[in-house]
């Protein structure tokens, strides 16, 4: 199934820019959260939701919807910003980020937030969950697909590779993965924590269809999503090379902003760089 463009490249870039502003706003208000990975993922998510994902904001529990599983669920500000942009939740709900009882919990939670299909916590679980969704769709005779976003630090988890092997065994052409390859995890650069060597070769060895892109080039992103849409002979992965903290100068490629909030001065700099009206 080809991706149906409902927005121009410049419109997709503008959606991502507005979401970046909301990401920084949420983390700044809460003085906690994970801005770096939210900023690296948002171009990919903005394009996916605007071109390919079969969902209904006014009917978030529509049974035949595509599923999107944010396995790196701590990067929830990106998810919430996009859900507000697409009308699943209200922009006012973003003020509940990391507030007890709020719609927008610290990690994505399907019990609290409309449009969230996976409750995250421990890393490495999302691909197995997505595989279950893909198998269920096959059993139901449904055309729905399961899209899973993984982090590159996350693929150090052995459970990811168990799921990768099982997905190929079951020939799940309706299982699609996007890897946010921003090269930084909680404590440091991935290469310092646990080298993963040739990541594309690993996925190919597990029998997956593989494509690499620049995860901030919107043309390449749209073409990458079309690759996922059209690769139906088995599970597929789009490896997106991204920059942690993309769009905010002092956060870019900075492990310190994996899970830290900007102070007042840093917040003002971010808003200016993102073109926010203050």
For residues 94 and 220, give the distance between their C-alpha atoms in angstroms, rounded to a whole number: 30
* Three-point CA angle 106, 112, 117, nearest 5°: 90
Tell me the whole-structure pTM to 2 decimals. Answer: 0.96
Please check whether residue 249 lies inside any domain of the structure.
yes
CATH number at residue 77: 3.40.50.970
Could you tell me the two tokens for 96? 């509940």
For 64-90, give one letter per residue: b (16+ CB within 10 A) or e.
ebbbbbbbbbbbbbbbbbbbbbbebbe
List, in sequence order, every beta strand (DSSP E) within 91-208: 146-151, 175-181
Those residues with Cβ within 8 angstroms of residue 141's Cβ, 6 or more apart along the chain or in another chain: none
Beta bridge partners of 176: 147, 236
Please check whether residue 278 lies inside any domain of the structure.
no
Q: What is the helix (H) or strand (E) element at residue 211, kind and residue range?
A: strand 209-214
Please check whether residue 4 lies inside any domain of the structure.
no
- DSSP code string of 28-93: HHHT-S-HHHHHHHHHHHHHHHHHT----TTSTT-TTSPEEEESSTT-HHHHHHHHHHHTSS-GGG
Please check whether residue 1 lies inside any domain of the structure.
no
Summarize pLDDT for 30-75 with one digit per residue, the tens. Answer: 999 999 999 999 999 999 999 999 999 999 999 999 999 999 999 9
Q: What is the helix (H) or strand (E) element at residue 240, kind and residue range?
A: strand 236-241
Q: 3-state class of 274 per DSSP? A: coil
Strand order in the sheet with 146-151: 67-70, 146-151, 175-181, 236-241, 209-214
Domain range for residue 137?
9-273
Please check whether residue 3 lies inside any domain of the structure.
no
Those residues with Cβ within 8 angstroms of residue 100's Cβ, 6 or more apart along the chain or in another chain: none
Could you tell me the two tokens for 47? 């394009």
Please check whether residue 186 lies inside any domain of the structure.
yes
Q: CA nearest 49: which of 26, 70, 27, 72?
A: 70
Please check whether residue 2 lies inside any domain of the structure.
no
Give how many domains the chain has, as a whole number.
Answer: 1
User: According to the model, what pLDDT value does residue 272 have?
Assistant: 98
User: According to the model, what pLDDT value does residue 6 have?
Assistant: 67
User: According to the model, what pLDDT value does residue 169 have?
Assistant: 98
User: According to the model, what pLDDT value does residue 278 have?
Assistant: 63
Give the count of beta carbons closer than 10 Å to the beta carbon of residue 110: 15
Fill in the DSSP letter of residue 100: T
For residues 93 and 90, give the distance between their C-alpha atoms in angstroms, rounded to a whole number: 5
Could you tell me the two tokens for 177? 């993965």
Residues of the chain with pLDDT under 70: 1-6, 278
């Amino acid at each position: 199934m080809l991706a149906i463009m409902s927005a121009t490249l410049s419109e997709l870039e503008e959606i991502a820019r507005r979401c970046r502003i909301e990401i920084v706003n949420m983390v700044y208000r809460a003085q906690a959260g994970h801005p770096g990975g939210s900023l690296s993922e948002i171009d990919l998510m903005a394009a996916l939701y605007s071109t390919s994902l079969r969902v209904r904001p006014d009917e978030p529990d529509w049974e035949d919807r595509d599923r999107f599983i944010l396995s790196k669920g701590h990067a929830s500000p990106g998810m919430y910003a996009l859900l507000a942009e697409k009308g699943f939740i209200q922009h006012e709900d973003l003020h509940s980020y990391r507030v007890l009882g709020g719609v927008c919990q610290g990690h994505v939670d399907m019990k609290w937030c409309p449009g969230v299909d996976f409750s995250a916590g421990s890393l490495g679980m999302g691909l197995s969950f997505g595989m279950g969704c893909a198998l269920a769709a096959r059993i139901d005779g449904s055309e729905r697909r399961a899209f899973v976003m993984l982090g590159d630090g996350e693929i150090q988890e052995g459970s990811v590779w168990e799921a990768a092997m099982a997905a190929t065994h079951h020939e799940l052409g309706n299982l699609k993965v996007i890897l946010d390859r921003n090269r930084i995890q909680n404590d440091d650069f991935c290469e310092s924590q646990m080298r993963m060597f040739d990541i594309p070769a690993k996925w190919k060895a597990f029998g997956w269809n593989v494509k690499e892109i620049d995860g901030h080039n919107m043309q390449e992103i749209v073409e990458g999503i079309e690759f996922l849409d059209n690769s139906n002979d088995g599970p597929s992965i789009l490896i997106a090379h991204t920059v942690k903290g993309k769009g905010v100068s002092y956060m870019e490629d900075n492990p310190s902003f994996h899970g830290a909030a900007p102070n007042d001065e840093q917040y003002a700099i971010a808003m200016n760089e993102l073109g926010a009206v203050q």
